[in-house]
């Protein structure tokens, strides 16, 4: 991540002058007065401004602009959670403790069950009846609240079901009689032999004293390659223990060590779940979700694995996500995922892949819920040893802020119809998410059409009442000079505005040697001058890999506004590989009625590499591709060049293959 470099704003109200010699280096942003509809989405999705695992108060929610909350329920019941307001109480130490959820919450995501909890098949012989009754009861009660309810089915089943410790594979839930490496495993609850699951070896687990019940979380902190009598350092928890069968050790309290058999999923090729856990998940989801939807179709349900779809060169998609969609799409409104660190454009690309796949095969337009996000590597994944809050506070804050701005502004610029929810994980701990939240707080209301002359300068605009907001992100490393033209809806004009960003401030804290000056990140606000009716231009510079928000006040009375309606039609081909020195084709069908009245069009390619070595032809005509950007790329088209059945041809002149993750055509219609 690069430190955000905020540049002084140069205003040129009611003026079209650009300094001589700089015009060719100046990017152009135009915000029209036209409202925007993207696959039917006309509003900024409020769920994107969400949090997870954060102590909240009414004051913080209002100050940050938090609109969405995700919470995990380890023991869900049939009574839905309702955001009806927060209640404050004072504890014994005199500290104010808040409970409940703010009434202002627009999206409340209830996650049913956590990652260390075993699949229901492990613990209940009546698991199917139990989940069916739970789903039916929840759906019936949800129909009485007057709210839309959102359920995420299971937190991160990709992870601890399969590793650290591999909960669903532990002998605790299986008949260990005559266990030996390579022999099949039989569930205690049902007596069922589980296909593809065989005994592997013995490992140490932690049991709770007295009850001798398995502590799945504590067991996950014990390295599984430890030898008898060896002293090992715990994972993701301070301290060490000596491995002795039956010994009492300290792992967040006293725990009894027990040596126990663990199984091996013969299909599992990586640390994340294989076919065994996939079947457990699908069977549970079907039982629960079908009952929910039968009782109340309005409840929104998200299936998923809490994981990047593109991990291991899209291996997660092929082995977990795609089979899940195939199996449960009738009861699925959304796909849930987590992303930590990395290139956020790949997350958006993965949404396009899953969207195209589901739409082309099942006629369903999925939404996507991120339920944990952060600008650091996920410390729970194997191989990640550093805690999320390590490092220089200012650098960490800047990285967190930049990651969030880049993620959200890119999502809104390219797929406001797909990105429904996002939950910043522990945002109170990094010093940067807060600044990003407060910068983006004005970005609400009706989507407005924008255009950018630079494919790596992203823009999104909205209007709510008498305010017009524009969020920008410069995804280039170098500072970018840009000129923005604001065209408010007919009948309105800009009277004033402000620019939101960040700055470095100094505070005094107690250090090892006394009071020291500590730099930290602070929200910055710069007022813009008053203007009257007429064109509104703003000239500014935006630092490399950085974002900013401009918030304008409007006056006048809005007349009827026009709407730019864009609808996407996808190719059924996803994750096609354009071989080195090779060519591929893909077909996209367009509805004749929409094509007949189309006013504008564009081609969207989702590419794994910058397309400098690619040549594109659409229906035999060349299409120019930008050479220095990758993942989601949009090219304008003349709708007259399109037909009912369209052929996209990509040729690769390089020695390296390039992945065409998805391909689609967009039509703008009245």
Q: In this predicted structure, what is the pLDDT of residue 511?
A: 83
Q: What is the mean pLDDT of residues 414-440?
A: 98
Lowest mean pLDDT among 117-126, 249-258, 371-380, 590-599: 371-380
341 CB neighbour count, 10 Å cutoff: 16
Q: Is the pLDDT at 56 greater than 90, yes or no?
A: yes
Q: How many other C-beta atoms lie within 10 A of the C-beta of residue 232? A: 17
Whole-number pLDDT of residue 378 = 60
- Dihedral of the alpha carbons of 96, 102, 108, 112, in degrees to the nearest 10: 30
> 560 with 629: CB under 8 angstroms?
no
For residues 551-579, give the mean pLDDT: 95
pLDDT tens readout for residues 406-421: 999 999 999 999 999 9
Give all strands (DSSP E) within 375-454, no chain letters.
419-421, 423-425, 446-452
Contact 634, 566 (CB under 8 A): no
pLDDT of residue 360: 98
Reported as a single tens digit per residue, the pLDDT across 289-329 is 999 999 999 999 999 999 999 999 999 999 999 999 999 99
Instruction: Work out the average pLDDT over 358-369.
Output: 98
User: Quick one: pLDDT at residue 597?
Assistant: 98
What's the pLDDT at 236?
83
Give the CA dihedral 18, 23, 25, 30, nearest 10 degrees.
70
Query: How would residue 96 be classed by pLDDT, with cut points 50, 70 and 90?
Result: confident
Question: What integer pLDDT is reported at residue 24 of this predicted model?
Answer: 59
State the average pLDDT for the chain. 93
In angstroms, rounded to a whole number, what is the distance separating the alpha carbons of residues 69 and 66?
8
Q: Which helix (H) or strand (E) holds 64?
A: helix 58-64
Q: What's the whole-number mean pLDDT along residues 210-235?
A: 96
> pLDDT value at position 5?
31
Q: What is the pLDDT of residue 382?
A: 66
Q: For the domain covering 563-669, report its CATH number.
A: 2.60.120.1200
pLDDT of 609: 87
pLDDT at 9 over 90: no
Give the confidence band of 383 by pLDDT, cuts at 50, 70, 90.
Answer: low
Q: Give the mean pLDDT of 632-640.
A: 97
CATH of domain 46-158+271-438: 3.20.20.80
User: With 60 as the cut, is the pLDDT of residue 388 above it?
Assistant: no
Quote the pTM value: 0.94
654 CA to centre of own chain = 33
State whether residue 165 is helix, strand or coil: coil
Angle between helices 275-295 and 127-142 (to 10 degrees): 40
C-alpha to C-alpha distance for 287 and 124, rounded to whole angstroms: 14
The C-alpha torsion from 104 through 107 and 108 to 111, rounded to 10°, is: -170
Output the pLDDT for position 8. Answer: 29
Least confident window among 188-197, 378-387, 579-588: 378-387
Q: How many residues belong to the chain?
A: 670
Q: 199, 181 in Cβ contact below 8 A?
A: yes
Structural fold of domain 10-42+445-556: Immunoglobulin-like (2.60.40)
Calpha distance 395→393 (Å, rounded)? 6
Q: Which residues contact 392 (CB under 8 A, 6 or more apart)?
A: none
- Which DSSP letter does residue 639 get? G
pLDDT of residue 18: 34
Phi-psi region of 431 (alpha: psi -120 to 50; beta: other; left: phi over 0): left
Roughly how many angstroms between the first and final C-alpha of the chain, as a whole number? 42
pLDDT band per the 50, 70, 90 thresholds, residue 498: very high
Structure tokens at 530: 């008053």
pLDDT digits 0-9 by tens, 226-263: 999 999 999 988 999 999 999 999 999 999 999 999 99
Per-residue pLDDT reduced to its tens digit, 446-464:
999 999 999 999 999 999 9
Q: Please compute, for residue 97, the number of CA atoms within 13 A of its CA located in the half-sphere on the CB side.
A: 7
Do 46-158+271-438 and 563-669 share a fold?
A: no
Q: Where are the domains of the chain?
A: 10-42+445-556, 46-158+271-438, 168-265, 563-669
Q: Does the pLDDT of residue 13 top 60, yes or no?
A: no
Percent pLDDT > 70 in the chain is 93
- Tens-place pLDDT, residues 178-193: 999 999 999 999 999 9
Greater confidence, 17 or 537? 537
What CA–CA distance (Å, rounded) separates 558 from 560? 7
- Angle 534-537-542 from CA coordinates, rounded to 5°: 160
CA angle at residue 103 from 98 to 108, to 5 degrees?
A: 90
pLDDT for the residue numbered 389: 52
Provide the pLDDT for residue 381: 65
Q: Give the per-residue pLDDT at 21.
A: 39
pLDDT value, residue 499: 97
């Amino acid at each position: 991540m690069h430190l955000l470099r905020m540049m002084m704003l140069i205003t040129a109200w009611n003026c079209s002058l650009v300094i001589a010699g700089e015009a060719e280096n100046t990017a152009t942003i135009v915000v029209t007065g036209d409202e925007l509809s993207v696959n039917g989405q006309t509003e900024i999705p409020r769920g994107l401004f969400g949090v997870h695992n954060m102590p909240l108060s009414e004051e913080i929610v209002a100050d940050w602009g938090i609109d969405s909350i995700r919470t995990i329920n380890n023991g869900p019941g049939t009574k839905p959670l309702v955001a009806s307001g927060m209640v404050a109480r004072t504890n014994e130490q005199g500290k104010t403790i808040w409970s409940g959820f703010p009434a202002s919450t627009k999206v409340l995501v209830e996650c049913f069950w956590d990652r260390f909890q075993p699949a229901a098949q492990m613990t209940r012989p009546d698991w199917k009846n139990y989940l069916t009754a739970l789903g039916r009861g929840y759906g019936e009660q949800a129909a009485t609240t007057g709210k839309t309810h959102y359920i995420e089915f299971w937190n991160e089943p990709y992870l601890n079901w399969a590793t650290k410790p591999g909960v669903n594979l532990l002998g605790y839930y299986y008949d260990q009689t005559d266990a030996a490496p390579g022999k099949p495993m039989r569930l205690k609850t049902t007596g069922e032999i589980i296909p593809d699951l065989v005994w592997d070896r013995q490992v140490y687990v932690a049991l709770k004293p007295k009850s001798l019940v398995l502590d799945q979380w504590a067991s996950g902190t014990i390295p599984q390659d430890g030898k008898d009598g060896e002293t090992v350092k715990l994972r993701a928890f301070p301290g060490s223990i000596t491995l002795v069968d039956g010994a009492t050790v300290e792992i967040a309290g006293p725990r009894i060590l027990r040596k126990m058999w663990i199984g091996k999923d013969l299909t599992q090729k990586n640390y994340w779940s294989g076919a065994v856990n996939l079947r457990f998940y699908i069977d549970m989801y079907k039982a629960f979700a079908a009952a929910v939807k039968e009782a109340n179709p309005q409840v929104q349900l998200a299936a998923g694995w809490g994981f990047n779809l593109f991990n291991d060169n899209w291996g997660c998609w092929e082995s977990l996500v795609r089979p899940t969609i195939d199996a449960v799409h009738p009861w699925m409104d959304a796909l849930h995922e987590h992303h930590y660190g990395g290139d956020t454009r790949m997350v958006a690309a993965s949404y396009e892949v899953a969207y195209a796949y589901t739409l082309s095969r099942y006629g369903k337009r999925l939404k996507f819920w991120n339920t944990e996000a952060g600008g650091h590597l996920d410390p729970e994944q194997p191989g990640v040893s550093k805690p999320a809050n390590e490092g220089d506070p200012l650098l960490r804050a800047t990285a967190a802020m930049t990651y969030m701005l880049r993620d959200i502004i890119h999502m809104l610029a390219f797929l406001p119809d797909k990105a429904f929810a996002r939950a910043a994980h522990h945002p109170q701990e990094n010093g940067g998410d807060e600044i990003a939240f407060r910068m983006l707080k004005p970005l609400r209301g009706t989507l407005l059409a924008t255009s950018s002359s630079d494919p790596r300068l992203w823009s999104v605009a909205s209007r709510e009442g008498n305010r017009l907001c524009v969020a920008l992100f410069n995804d280039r490393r170098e500072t970018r000079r840009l000129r923005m033209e604001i065209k408010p809806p007919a009948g309105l004009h800009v009277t004033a505005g402000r620019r939101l960003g960040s700055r470095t401030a100094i505070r005094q804290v107690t250090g090892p040697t006394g009071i020291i000056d500590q730099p930290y990140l602070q929200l910055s606000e710069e007022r813009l001058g008053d203007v009257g009716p007429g064109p509104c231009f703003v000239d500014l510079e935006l630092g490399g890999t950085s974002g900013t928000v401009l918030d304008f006040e409007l006056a006048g009375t809005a007349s009827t506004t026009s709407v730019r309606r864009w609808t996407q039609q996808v190719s059924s081909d996803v994750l096609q590989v354009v071989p080195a020195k090779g060519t591929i084709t893909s077909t996209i069908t367009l509805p004749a009625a929409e094509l007949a009245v189309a006013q504008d069009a564009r081609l969207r390619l989702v590419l794994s590499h910058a397309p400098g070595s690619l040549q594109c032809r659409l229906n035999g005509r060349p299409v120019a591709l930008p050479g220095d950007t990758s993942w989601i790329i949009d090219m304008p088209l003349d709708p007259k060049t399109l037909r009912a059945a369209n052929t996209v041809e990509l040729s690769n002149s390089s020695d390296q293959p390039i992945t065409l993750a998805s391909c689609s055509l967009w039509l703008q219609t009245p």
